[in-house]
Amino acid sequence: MINVLSGSRRKWIAFALIFAFLIFFQFVITSCNPSNFKTKAAQVPQWITTTLGDPKTFNFALNEEFPNVFLFTAEGLTTINGVTRQIEPALAESWQISNDKKQITFTLRENLKWSDGQPLTADDVIFTYQDIVFNQNIPTSWQDTLKIGKSRVFPEVRKIDNRRVEFIFPEPFAPFLFSTTGAPDGVGILPKHILEKTTKTKDANGNPLFLSTWGTGTNPQEIVVNGPYMIDRYIPSQRIIFRRNPYYWRKDSQGQQLPYVERIIWQIIESTDTGVLQFRSGGLDTLTVSPENFSLLKNEEKRGNFSVYNGGPAFSKTFISFNLNTGKRKNGQPIVDPIKSRWFNNVNFRRAVAHAIDRQTMINNVFRGLGELHNSPIDIQSPYYLSPEKGLKVYEYNQNQARQLLLKSGFKYDAKNQLLDADGNRVSFTLMTNVENKTRVTMAAQIKTDLEKIGIKVNFQPISFNTLVGKLNETLDWECYLLGFTGSLEPNDGANKWSPDGNSHTFNQQPQRGQELLIDRKVSDWEEEIGRLYIEAAQELDENKRQEIYAKTQQITQEYLPEIYLVTPLSLVAVRNRLENVKFSALGSQGATLWNKYELKVKE
């Protein structure tokens, strides 16, 4: 039987269906918003921050990037207080230095444990240094900071008992304590009971299995750490979730175990613009503030219930660098096109480029005034920084001087004002930077424009950070790059950059261990001299004399320009006011990762 509904009844049913659909739609949207989850798991104290890209490794010894997961998970024998800038006890409760400065004895805290509950003892310290840091078959940047004197030997490390470890040096070694400070720059202690076998077992290629251990494909539950947090989950291109380490050693003044916050979520957001949108909408608790977003966020502090902290000049500097490597592969293929290599290795070419870049306009336009001119490989806030007022050479913006330097070196201009070399080749090169960093992309665009004004053609190629690092450290396939380098108070932390055989000597990189050796790679006299001075500075215990030595290294780098320094940004971070105990500092706080994270509390 056909049932025909009246018009009023049909309208009522239609209204009811629409109302039901709206209720269902609202439920679906609400359920998909992570901030509105009402599960028991979501009720634990947590804060959310962000990083630009996926991690490359979960193995601290093999790390070459910053920021990194080890800021949350790893500690060394000592640490640096971000406010006082003093070295303080961490895994070691104390240390004693012998009168002749050739022995340091560390005493570990009682009842230290790894995140799996196993004891952390002197055996782990010995293992970390002897089997990993001093292991020539394991390429780690830690090695270059611990090679002593001209002989480049490592200190001897000896176990006294389960809690005491002694380091013995052939000569005084001033930067050693800085090298023990864990993340981000110092040696982090690693678990012997988990990793010892990997250092002794070889893979099919004859390399230690350690080199492929704890990659990002590892189940996070298998990674054992000693820091305030453990890696709980990793979802590539989305997030890393850290959870509280139940065996972490720190306690507050009332005896409560730290950290206070149960969970940290590290969102992987490859666009800085997207990061700002998520912060403004309440999806993030901390955010590194870029110059282009400072005014917007500063004006929203009160409405958004957050604070923008300014730590002064960051422990970071941006620069461009040319590939000076003259080496060839075994098949005769040069690392760099020989024509371009002649340009790059001409110091007047590099000086001309330095004069042609308008760094003040870069500060005004790109950094919105939130940066300082930088001229040194050493950070402005370091006590070893040599300022221009005290004699450091600078390259003022002067296009005429740039042109004169080029003409003096045999370059010439055609009728179209294009720069040619002596053989008539058009001068051009490819400039790369990481596409995820909007500020660097904008800087590179200005550099391209500035250099075109003196006739140089720049092919700008923004690529992913991980791809760029691979070119710098592995394939060596690059011509010029723009990046930033994270520094510290202690210049020796950069020894791996300035030693000619260092793992981060990127402007003239030798192949990493296990890679094909190069033919005809040349190391210049000034490179050798910088490396020698870094050794001399490490031997010197008088602070005034150390400053003088590092001053010489800065004068040489500015004379020969293996890196052309541009701008140091201000250290700016936006932090939700719901986070308590914030002690912001430029030291150890880049990437919105707060140095005293174990003390933070969440106020709901």
Are 521 and 589 part of one and the same domain?
A: no
How many structural domains comprise the chain? 3
Amino acid at 159: K
Are 178 and 227 part of one and the same domain?
A: no
Quickly state the pLDDT bin for 141 (edges 50, 70, 90): confident
301: CB partners within 8 A, 6+ apart? 307, 308
For residues 452 and 582, the answer to whether their CB atoms sit within 8 Å is no
Continuous segment of H or E residues that includes residue 569:
strand 567-576
In a domain, 552, yes or no: yes
Are 371 and 281 part of one and the same domain?
A: no
Decide: helix, strand or coil at residue 28.
helix
- Which two structure tokens, joined as six digits, stand for 458? 């720049």
- Provide the 10 A C-beta neighbour count for residue 501: 13
| Cα-Cα-Cα-Cα dihedral sign, residues 476, 479, 482, 484 | positive
Q: How far apart are CA 380 and CA 505, in angstroms?
A: 21
237: CB partners within 8 A, 6+ apart? 54, 268, 270
Are 298 and 413 part of one and the same domain?
A: no
Are 488 and 539 part of one and the same domain?
A: yes
Instruction: Encode 89-128: b = buried (16+ Cβ within 10 Å), e = exposed.
Output: ebbbeebeeeeeeebbbbbbeeebbbbbeeebbbbbbebb
CATH number of the domain within which 526 lies: 3.10.105.10
For residues 318 and 564, the answer to whether their CB atoms sit within 8 Å is no
Interval 197-225 mean pLDDT: 93
The dihedral formed by the CA atoms of 558, 564, 566 and 572, expressed in degrees to the nearest 10:
-100
In a domain, 298, yes or no: yes
End residue of a domain, out of 165, 190, 215: 190
Are 397 and 534 part of one and the same domain?
A: yes
H helix runs in 220-325, sequence order:
272-280, 291-299, 301-304
Of the candidate ranges 88-102, 458-472, 579-593, the one whose mean pLDDT is the lowest: 579-593
Compute CA 124 distance to the chain's CA centroid, rounded to the nearest angstrom. 26
Of the candidate ranges 3-12, 50-59, 563-572, 583-592, the one whose mean pLDDT is the lowest: 3-12
Considering only residues 149 and 357, tell me which one the structure prediction assigns the higher pLDDT. Answer: 357
536: CB partners within 8 A, 6+ apart? 549
H helix runs in 75-223, sequence order:
122-126, 176-179, 192-200
Q: What secondary structure, in 3-state letters, does 440-453 show?
A: HHHHHHHHHHHHHC
For residues 137 and 209, the answer to whether their CB atoms sit within 8 Å is no
pLDDT recorded at residue 184: 79
pLDDT recorded at residue 588: 64
In a domain, 90, yes or no: yes
CATH number of the domain within which 594 lies: 3.40.190.10
- Which two structure tokens, joined as six digits, stand for 22? 């709206």
DSSP class per residue in 162-199: TTEEEEE-SS--TTHHHHTS-TTTSPPP--HHHHHHHH
Q: Indicate whether 27 pLDDT > 50.
A: no
| Cα-Cα-Cα-Cα dihedral sign, residues 512, 513, 518, 521 | positive
In a domain, 14, yes or no: no
For residues 581 and 310, the answer to whether their CB atoms sit within 8 Å is no
Are 536 and 388 part of one and the same domain?
A: yes
Interval 542-569 mean pLDDT: 96
In a domain, 376, yes or no: yes
Are 264 and 372 part of one and the same domain?
A: no
pLDDT digits (tens, 9 = 90+) for 337-393: 999 999 999 999 999 999 999 999 999 999 999 999 999 999 999 999 999 999 999
End residue of a domain, out of 169, 190, 211: 190
CA atoms within 13 A on the CB side of 446: 20
Q: How far apart are CA 377 and CA 394, in angstroms?
A: 13
pLDDT digits (tens, 9 = 90+) for 163-199: 999 999 999 999 999 999 988 778 999 999 999 999 9
Q: Which of 179, 185, 170, 168 is nearest to 97 (CA)?
A: 168
End residue of a domain, out of 147, 171, 190: 190
- 286 — phi, psi (to 5°)? -135, 150
**The pairing of beta strand 428-434 with beta strand 480-486:** parallel
Ramachandran class of 390: left when φ > 0, alpha when ψ lies in -120 to 50, beta otherwise: alpha
Q: How far apart are CA 392 and CA 544, in angstroms?
A: 17
Burial of residue 237 (CB within 10 Å: 0-12, 13-18, 19+) is: exposed
Q: Which of 326, 275, 328, 276 is nearest to 299 (CA)?
A: 276
CATH number of the domain within which 88 lies: 3.90.76.10
Q: Indicate whether 593 pLDDT > 80.
A: no
**The pairing of beta strand 316-322 with beta strand 564-565:** antiparallel
pLDDT recorded at residue 521: 94
In a domain, 66, yes or no: no
Please give the residue range of the domain that contains residue 105. Answer: 77-190
Q: How far apart are CA 550 and CA 384, in angstroms?
A: 6
Considering only residues 11 and 115, tell me which one the structure prediction assigns the higher pLDDT. Answer: 115
Decide: helix, strand or coil at residue 209.
helix
pLDDT recorded at residue 273: 87
Quickly state the pLDDT bin for 126 (edges 50, 70, 90): very high
Quickly state the pLDDT bin for 281 (edges 50, 70, 90): very high
In a domain, 67, yes or no: no
Q: Indicate whether 276 pLDDT > 90.
A: yes
**The pairing of beta strand 457-463 with beta strand 371-373:** unpaired
Are 177 and 207 part of one and the same domain?
A: no
pLDDT digits (tens, 9 = 90+) for 33-79: 344 433 444 578 999 998 888 999 999 999 888 788 999 999 999 99
Q: Which of 218, 227, 231, 223 is nearest to 263 (CA)?
A: 231
Are 527 and 548 part of one and the same domain?
A: yes
Q: How far apart are CA 252 and CA 598, in angstroms?
A: 10
Average pLDDT score, the chain: 89
For residues 312 and 381, the answer to whether their CB atoms sit within 8 Å is yes
In a domain, 518, yes or no: yes
Are 258 and 163 part of one and the same domain?
A: no
Count how many residues are written for the chain: 604
Q: Indicate whether 581 pLDDT > 50.
A: yes
Q: Indicate whether 18 pLDDT > 60.
A: no
15: CB partners within 8 A, 6+ apart? none
Q: How far apart are CA 318 and CA 101, in angstroms?
A: 36
Interval 450-471 mean pLDDT: 94
Are 469 and 480 part of one and the same domain?
A: yes
